[in-house]
Amino acid sequence: MNIDRLFLRAIYKFLDESDQKTIQWEDVVKSCFEMFPETFGFEKYTEWPDTWKIHNCMWRCRNQRHWIIGDARTGISLTEIGRTMGSVKIENKIYDDVKERKEKGHNIKADSKLINYIREHPLYKKYLKNPKEFILSESELRNILKSTMETNYKTLSRNLDYLTKIIKDYGKDEFMDFSKKLKEKLEEIKENE
């Protein structure tokens, strides 16, 4: 399930049960984490909410999806479409792919480190400043994929496919558009080989 839909559902449920028009930031964090702790908790410290994830959801739901209006300072309200989308009930479940990875003995800590590596990488931070105008060079792509200028296309593609799978398995939708930009650049490299 899309992380933004979970965020929206938590807001809708809070507003519906409290009979309020606006939800304050602290209540947003509390509602998201209480309803979907697997999704909105830190990977390492699972007992704590990851407010960065919640903030990213708020940004996308307001600026891209137009499901909410307001901000963390003034409070958040649902738009008409936000109310409609938020009213759909969603199960609180662990992502099946993550559960399967755990059962197969995959190193969940390594997966978590890879996600944090992307989140903290200067190229991702550059992307966040202006997603629509984001352009990357071949050397930047190779750097984030931990490869050199001599690394062949097949290896680059395998590294990016693995990264994309981790992003999907863990429901890290905030990285999906970024990974698409990486893929587009990779396709340019393929054409030039």
- Closest by CA position to 156, among listed 139, 173, 168, 171: 139
Kindly write down the DSSP assignment for every residue of 132-177, as one continuous string. Answer: GG----HHHHHHHTT--TT--HHHHHHHHHHHHHHHHHTT-GGGHH
Instruction: Say what the pLDDT of residue 93 is.
Output: 47
For domain 3-86, give its CATH number from 1.10.1760, 3.40.50, 1.10.10, 2.60.40.
1.10.10
Quick: pLDDT tens for 161-192: 888 887 776 667 778 888 899 999 898 887 76
Instruction: Say what the pLDDT of residue 148 is.
Output: 84
Instruction: Say what the pLDDT of residue 96 is.
Output: 45
Q: CA geometry: angle at 96 spanning 91 and 98, to 5°?
A: 120
Quick: pLDDT tens for 95-133: 444 455 455 555 556 667 777 788 888 999 899 999 889
The ranges of the chain annotated as CATH 1.10.10 are 3-86
